[in-house]
Chains A and B, each alone.
Chain A
Amino acid sequence: MARLSAEAVAQARELMSLYPDSRSALVPICHLAQAEEGWLSPEVMEHIAELMGITPAEVLGTASFYEMLRTEPVGRYMVSVCTNIACLLNGAYELLEHAEERLAIGVGATTPDQMFSLEEAECIAFCDRAPCLQVNHRFFGSVDDERFDTLVEDLAAGRLDDDVPHHGVLSRVRRQGGLAVPAEQVRAERAEADRARAERAAAAQAERS
């Protein structure tokens, strides 16, 4: 799939309407797009640019700034092994080595079947269960070699599909039924806020002069 799905386009439009400057919706829209394919392909970035009326270079500029937005393809599961101090002391590098062997790829690579990508991560704030890792930003603590193998098998077999959606899906709780606050209300409130601000500014001005 090259471009965004109709559903994603609709959601993107909704997101744009939430911000006074629709450009502000770029990061959330990138996440939305990433949930579709797991990464931001050139076609998708161009589609986003088209939707938002900006240039692809601007989309890439933002997307390439953030670690969690991927501009290169990654596997269905992004395995991020923490190697920061607490994990390191608890055998993170041994775990990472094991992961490399088990997945038969080096850090930064993706398995040929496009299932797993492996990366080294800084502290993911799960130090009490060191060594630990994230798969698509879901936490797994106290991981030893054996548990790692089980985890990989479970993921590959689809047994964890409910807990770990494919890469790019940030939240399993998709918002259903449109915006929590209708767009008109957002607009009305914004207009009201603008008016109040203008009034305050005018009052302050008057006071000064």
Chain B
Amino acid sequence: MSPMEKHLKVSAIKDGTVLDHIPANQLFKVIDILGLSKITNQITFGTNLDSKLLGKKAIIKIADKFFEDNDINRIALIAPQAKINIIHDFQVVEKKVLSVPSTIKGIAKCMNPACITNHQDVETSFATISDSPELKLLCKYCEKVTDEKNLKIISNN
């Protein structure tokens, strides 16, 4: 693919944030977690793009939107390799690497079926006790660990 072709796949933005290297199958969860369906900014998506690293990747470009680290780090749970590029005047002025936040509220479901958060309207809350090689989250309520292979994301919709 020529650089020109690649460029055309997802149009450039003047100012804003580009989220690249999102696993294609996580795109809609990322949209969900960042609440992108509820904002009025101009957003362009591309998905099922070829990626050496991920096989198929997705990319999101959000015009005139800059995230707080705390907010953007929430997607580290499902797209840890994502690259965040901050754009000013069509130029990448900053690249951010995600890190899993030390506490996670909402987003993830506790894997313990007897946990109060799975029975009543209680927002989940976890402490991150390990982020690599495997993500491990300790539930503030039932004190059980939810690991990466059992991680389920709560949908906002």
A binds B: no
Residues of A within 8 A of B (CB): none
